Amino acid sequence: MKLPLLMSLFGWIALDAWAIEVRSTGGQAMEVEVLGYTQSSGNVRIKRTSDGQIFNTKINVFDDASQKAIIAAAPAMMPELRVDVSVGKRRAREGDSTYMKSQDITVSLKITNGSRDIDLAKSKFTVILLGRSTLRFRDREQDFDNVLAKESFDQAVPAGKFIEYECKPVTTSFDSDFDSSNIGGWEYDGYVLIIQDAAGKIIDAKSNIGPVETETLKKPAALEEALKLVPGMVVERNLKPTGRTSVGVGRTF
């Protein structure tokens, strides 16, 4: 029953400059434009150049050489990613102090590939956790963030699938009297997630920190600089370094 379809699909056509020639496992040749290829499912979307007809098929209907040509010719497409971040913040009194609080922060990520036919190839995910200075309650000019932690991992996300990742916990401390008597510290502010492809190019970024969302995420150069941040660095709330460091706070993985 499949033979008539394959015979019509692999009919002879004239060569176009941007087309590639492929052959079925039965030896029938045709020239096509590759519109898409999904590694996890083996799905191929091609356009026959003789008449513009589009076909969705499996890569295993082609011979080995054609399969390699199709994979090489497939355009790079960015899947639709959804990032869900769950943050746990547990506060406790620090020693006998009535105002100094310690804060244990745990962050879990769930990254879903909402595309049906576009895999996310193995990529590097970098998570940066930031704490906001409580000195701002005493002095508005002290509204800075501190890099509490920075963690990276590599992972692929096939089409229609999701991955989960739990960052290592981090602890910070701060003065919980939010008034002019505040002596400082770093209260958890939010996260930045930067995703890079295998070549190191930034392909996506997310954050829940206002100035990062409105400014930094729109500037690729600023995101490149953000990747250079290390724990203990003090930054503007848009991640621009201040040249200052916070001693004894933050770590990297």
pLDDT tens column, 104-141 = 999 999 999 998 888 898 999 999 999 999 999 999 99
Q: Which DSSP letter does residue 99 get?
A: S
pLDDT, position 241: 95
Q: How many alpha carbons fall within 13 Å on the CB side of residue 189?
A: 28
Distance between CA 152 and CA 165 in Å, rounded?
A: 11
151 in helix, strand or coil? strand
pLDDT, position 173: 92
Distance between CA 168 and CA 166 in Å, rounded?
A: 7
pLDDT, position 182: 92
pLDDT, position 110: 95
Residue stretches of the chain with pLDDT short of 50 = 1-17, 248-253
Read off the tokens for 7. 């015979």
Q: What pTM does this model have?
A: 0.72
Distance between CA 156 and CA 43 in Å, rounded?
A: 17
pLDDT, position 1: 35
CATH code that applies to domain 81-252: 2.60.40.10
Which H helix or E strand runs over 226?
helix 220-226
Q: Are 170 and 147 in contact (CB under 8 A)?
A: no
User: Helices (H), strands (E): how many in the chain?
Assistant: 4, 15
What architecture does CATH give domain 3-73? Roll (2.30)
First to last CA, the chain: 56
pLDDT, position 145: 97
pLDDT, position 7: 38
> 155-169 as b/e, with b when 16 or more CB fall inside 10 Å?
eebbbbeebeeebee
pLDDT, position 18: 67
Q: Are 47 and 32 in contact (CB under 8 A)?
A: yes
pLDDT, position 4: 38
> 120-134 as b/e, with b when 16 or more CB fall inside 10 Å?
beebbbbbbbbbbbb
Question: How do the domains of the chain map onto residue ranges?
Answer: 3-73, 81-252
Which H helix or E strand runs over 30?
strand 29-38
253 in helix, strand or coil? coil
Q: Are 55 and 45 in contact (CB under 8 A)?
A: yes
